[in-house]
């Protein structure tokens, strides 16, 4: 079995897409742990509702958080860590010891970096009058949204689209793309 750990800071809709794909036998994997830096994250409730172990990060300091996570994750056999709406920087211990991927709601390198997440991205896309946006899955490195790109999916942005409408289109594409990429990891194509 392919073992995943998912990090999420908020709602967990991407986590739910992974859970649903596993439950519908579209992805031969299991989520061993959901980690969050936010004790109020709905992602934790989604995990608990599906009998998945959860862990809430206690440390606020970057170096301490890296050490704390290294200690917790060492108890698991992990094939891949998926950042699904997780907003904190990943520390060097995790980067050295695990393969980590991130989903990002734009066509990187556009609209990436610190502070560029969620609706901030879609508002920027609409303000710039972009004709396309999309979703990117990339490897995580020591800089926000700078790791090697694994796959991108484009969506059309209409002149009349609001940031919310762009968000809906991107999220739909992002979830399909993520399951495809996860299946590629499971099948050793990546």
Q: Confirm if 121 and 132 have CB atoms less than 8 A apart.
A: no
Beta-carbon contacts of 85 under 8 Å, excluding residues fewer than 6 positions away, are 8, 9, 10, 11, 12, 13, 14, 15, 43, 103, 117, 118
Q: Of 3, 24, 104, 138, which is the active-site residue?
A: 104
Neighbour-count burial of 100, counting CB atoms closer than 10 A to its CB (0-12 exposed, 13-18 middle, 19+ buried): buried
Instruction: Answer yes or no: 188 catalytic.
Output: no
**What is the pairing mode between strands 29-36 and 132-139?**
unpaired
Residues in the chain: 190
Distances (CA, A) of 136 to 68, 104, 170: 28, 5, 10
**Given strand 100-104, what is the order of strands in its sheet?**
53-56, 29-36, 2-7, 80-83, 100-104, 132-139, 149-156
- Provide the 10 A C-beta neighbour count for residue 91: 18
The residues annotated with a catalytic role in the active site are 104
């Amino acid at each position: 079995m392919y073992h995943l750990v998912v990090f999420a800071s908020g709602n967990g809709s991407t986590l739910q897409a992974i859970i649903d794909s596993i439950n519908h036998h579209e992805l031969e994997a299991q989520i061993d742990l959901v980690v969050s830096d936010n004790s109020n994250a709905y992602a934790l409730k989604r995990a608990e509702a599906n009998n998945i172990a959860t862990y809430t990060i206690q440390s606020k300091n970057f170096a301490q958080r890296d050490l704390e996570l290294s200690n917790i994750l060492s108890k698991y056999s992990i094939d891949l860590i998926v950042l699904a709406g997780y907003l904190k920087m990943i520390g060097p211990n995790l980067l050295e010891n695990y393969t980590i991927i991130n989903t990002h709601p734009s066509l990187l390198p556009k609209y990436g970096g610190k502070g560029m997440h969620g609706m901030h991205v879609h508002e920027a896309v609409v303000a710039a009058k972009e004709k396309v946006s999309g979703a990117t899955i990339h490897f995580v490195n020591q800089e926000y949204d700078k790791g090697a790109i694994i796959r991108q999916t484009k969506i059309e942005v209409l002149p009349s689209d609001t940031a919310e409408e762009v968000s809906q289109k991107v999220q739909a594409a992002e979830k399909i793309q993520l399951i495809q990429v996860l299946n590629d990891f499971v099948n050793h194509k990546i």
